[in-house]
């Protein structure tokens, strides 16, 4: 089922209409409906209040249509136009931004995946460095877990007009975090550039992940070349659902994002795509029986050799 829902503008971020897809998946094993997840797409700017207004609108829309968990992208809080602005706008987990989202989750009774918060580092006063943090909030407004991005995006592609050095102001996260039990299943957390490292997804799989999530702000050049391919590959190799909220469009004069927030099933089928032009969301029924059936019919993980086998060439 496809629906297009128009929205009135919310400052300049919502000048384009918000649209909604709903993908209905039949659960052949039960008459009850699988839980519904919302995967969002936004165009963040340095204006934190405007960003919150748009994200709040999307969360309310998702909750109103039955979603029990809502996924927001990397940089949902803001995307700065310079290193100095990015650092100056950062906050701690106890700051106003996360407080607003915990209140929103509690008020609406939904779980939130906040997929890339600019968190001030532990030695903020002396080092002035931040973490890129993925925060899960439950329907009571509690912060359940925080994952800090492991792989930092330091890339120079002059022929593509891409030049970003995340490590110039961001600390790499110290470790992975275990998948979180949520109303839609066990969710394993990554962020954006982590998508390019299958070791991370396989580690989350071994720890019980049924859904992987990669909230992102892919550049237009790298997104057009690799975004869908990588997301489908992670789904196929882990036999997990993959959900990836995304940034889209022009954030400021220096940066644009590819968009195409996606949901992919354990067979690698794309269930929904927000497109590459405007904010919006896709609603997806997450049928975990499909995970179990896919893994049962093609038991890839049972066929995997021990870790030492894959590193045996290092010893020769």
Instruction: Give the pLDDT of residue 169.
Output: 87
Catalytic residue, candidates 55, 61, 68, 74: 74
- To the query of whether residue 285 is one of the catalytic residues in this protein, the response is no
Region 49-73: mean pLDDT is 98
- To the query of whether residue 160 is one of the catalytic residues in this protein, the response is no
Catalytic residue, candidates 68, 149, 210, 278: 149
206 confidence band (pLDDT: 50, 70, 90)? very high
Phi, psi (deg, nearest 5) at residue 250: -90, 115
Please provide the average confidence, as pLDDT, over all residues in the chain.
Answer: 90
Catalytic residue, candidates 40, 55, 68, 192: 192
Is 23 a residue whose pLDDT tops 70? no
Is 153 a residue whose pLDDT tops 50? yes
Q: What is the pLDDT of residues 168-196, one digit of tens each?
A: 889 999 999 999 999 999 999 999 999 99
Is 57 a residue whose pLDDT tops 70? yes
316 confidence band (pLDDT: 50, 70, 90)? low
Instruction: Give the pLDDT of residue 27.
Output: 41
200 confidence band (pLDDT: 50, 70, 90)? very high
Range name among 163-167, 251-255, 268-272 with the lowest pLDDT average: 163-167
| pTM > 0.85 | yes
Instruction: Give the pLDDT of residue 11.
Output: 41
> What percent of the chain has a predicted confidence (pLDDT) above 90?
79
Instruction: Give the pLDDT of residue 107.
Output: 98
- To the query of whether residue 192 is one of the catalytic residues in this protein, the response is yes
Is 15 a residue whose pLDDT tops 60? no
Q: Does CATH number 3.30.56.10 belong to domain 2-315?
A: no
Instruction: Give the pLDDT of residue 31.
Output: 55
Instruction: Give the pLDDT of residue 30.
Output: 45
Instruction: Give the pLDDT of residue 8.
Output: 34
């Amino acid at each position: 089922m496809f629906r297009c829902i128009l929205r009135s503008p919310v400052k300049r971020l919502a000048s384009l209409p918000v649209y909604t897809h709903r993908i209905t998946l039949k659960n052949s094993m039960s008459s009850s409906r699988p839980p519904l997840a919302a995967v969002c797409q936004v165009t963040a700017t340095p204006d934190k209040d405007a960003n919150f207004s748009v994200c709040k609108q999307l969360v309310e829309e998702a909750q109103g249509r039955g979603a029990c968990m809502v996924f927001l992208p990397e940089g949902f809080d803001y995307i700065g136009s310079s290193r100095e602005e990015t650092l100056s706008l950062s906050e701690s987990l106890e700051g106003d931004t996360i407080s607003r989202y915990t209140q929103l989750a509690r008020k609406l009774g939904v779980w939130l995946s906040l997929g890339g918060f600019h968190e001030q580092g532990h030695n903020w006063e002396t080092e002035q460095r931040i973490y890129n943090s993925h925060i899960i909030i439950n329907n009571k407004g509690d912060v359940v877990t925080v994952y800090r991005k492991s792989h930092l995006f330091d890339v120079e592609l002059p022929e593509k007009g891409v030049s970003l050095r995340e490590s110039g102001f961001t600390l790499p996260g110290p470790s992975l975090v275990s998948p979180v039990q949520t109303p839609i299943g066990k969710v394993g957390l990554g962020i954006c550039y982590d998508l390019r490292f299958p070791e991370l997804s396989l580690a989350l799989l071994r720890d019980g992940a049924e859904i992987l999530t990669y909230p992102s702000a892919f550049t237009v050049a790298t997104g057009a070349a690799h975004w869908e391919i990588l997301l489908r590959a992670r789904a196929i190799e882990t036999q997990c659902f993959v959900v990836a909220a995304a940034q889209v469009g022009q954030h400021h004069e220096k940066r644009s994002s590819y968009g195409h927030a996606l949901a992919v099933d354990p067979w690698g089928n794309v269930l929904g795509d927000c497109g590459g032009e405007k904010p919006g969301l896709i609603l997806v029924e997450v049928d975990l029986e499909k995970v179990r059936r896919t893994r049962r019919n093609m038991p890839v993980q049972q066929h995997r050799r021990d870790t030492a086998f894959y590193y045996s060439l290092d010893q020769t």
